[in-house]
Amino acid sequence: MNLLLASPEKNLVMLSEREREYLVRAIESGLYVRKRHQFFLWAQGQLHGILPHELLICLRLDDDGHVLQMECFNSCLLDEERQEVICHPANGIAVRLARLCGEHGSPLILACGDEPQQLELGADFRRWGLRNAMVCASDYLFGSICVFVLFDLKEGPTQRHAYLLELMLPHLQIALLRLLTPSSSVNEPRIGTGNRLITAREVEILRLVQQGKSNQDIGSALGISPLTVKNHVQRIYRKLNVQNRAHAVSRGISLRLLDSAAGLNA
């Protein structure tokens, strides 16, 4: 795994007329992002126009590096296992890249290669079919740090891409924070009221999911059958409007149903 701290300010990047036009369009369209589906369309549209990528992970971390919010926007279908490995809020690849960015600086470019840097991370990239990544982090603002991870840039990330990502960083950050406002949560789960109530049993199961327990493990711990656990998990998915375990845990953390540090100590 080759790791490069991109420093565009030390290597002057001159944008082409086309790049400037695409950049302005991306910034302008980002002003209207208020809801998750709008963020998805923006990421796969105007943002993709200047930074072609297959997967974008947006994270919001507290000052201890624990995940407060995680959103996954992908242009290709991810199976549940692969998405969980990449997006797990405790030790997923995206979170590890965010920590790496905190250690080495931002923006950070990573590509699979033969150099002996980050061997474990490089092995995970190869195992899960990831070619490269680019990471950019904001300063600590509004009680959190926002980190954006782009996987599998079409042409491979360069200093030029890093510069464009830095230019987009404040607009990505504001758009991500807008997803937390009440107006963006009209279709989000209502915790504690109405017919979308998350029950105490479901929270208990979600905590065990956060610890990486299988349906069999959860059933043994709670004295219920694996099939009953599976039915509970499916109901949790529907109530939280998610499609897999990693996203359910991330949503549970953002809704403060789960302790963001719990998975680290499991």
Q: What is the pLDDT of residues 219-265, one digit of tens each?
A: 999 999 999 999 999 999 988 888 888 888 888 887 778 876 665 55
- Tokens found for residue 238: 């529907």
Antiparallel, parallel or unpaired: β 55-61 and 2-5: unpaired
**Helix segments in the chain, DSSP class H:** 17-30, 36-42, 48-50, 80-87, 93-104, 119-127, 159-178, 200-210, 215-222, 226-240, 245-254
What single letter denotes the amino acid at residue 161? H
- Beta carbons of 165 and 150 less than 8 angstroms apart: yes
∠ CA 94-96-98 to the nearest 5 degrees?
70
Amino acid at 230: K
Average pLDDT over residues 112-120: 62
Q: Say if residue 194's pLDDT is above 50.
A: no
Residue 80 has, within 13 A of its CA and on its CB side, a CA count of: 8
> Could you give the dihedral angle defined by the CA atoms of residues 191, 192, 194 and 199, in that order, rounded to the nearest 10 degrees?
90
Q: Decide if 27 contacts 45 (C-beta within 8 A).
A: no
What type of residue is 232?
A: H
pLDDT band at 7 (very low <50, low <70, confident <90, very high): low
Q: How many helices (H) and strands (E) does the chain have?
A: 11, 6
Query: Alpha-carbon distance 208 to 226, whole Å?
Result: 13
Global pTM reads 0.72
Q: What's the angle, vertex CA 246, arms to CA 99 and CA 127, rounded to 5?
A: 70
Cα 162 from Cα 157, distance rounded (Å) = 7
Q: Which of 46, 91, 51, 44 is nearest to 70 (CA)?
A: 91
121-160: per-residue pLDDT in tens? 888 898 998 999 999 999 998 889 999 999 999 888 999 9
Of 98, 59, 54, 96, nearest to 78 by C-alpha is 54
Specify the pLDDT at position 199. 81
> Of 88, 62, 58, nearest to 151 (Cα)?
58
**63-76 tens-digit pLDDT:** 888 888 889 898 77
Least Cα distance to 174 among 32, 52, 6, 21 occurs for: 32
Residues paired with 56 in a beta bridge = 73, 150
Report the candidate in 88, 68, 95 with the shortest Cα–Cα distance to residue 149.
95
Domains and CATH numbers, the chain: 2-180 (3.30.450.80), 189-265 (1.10.10.10)
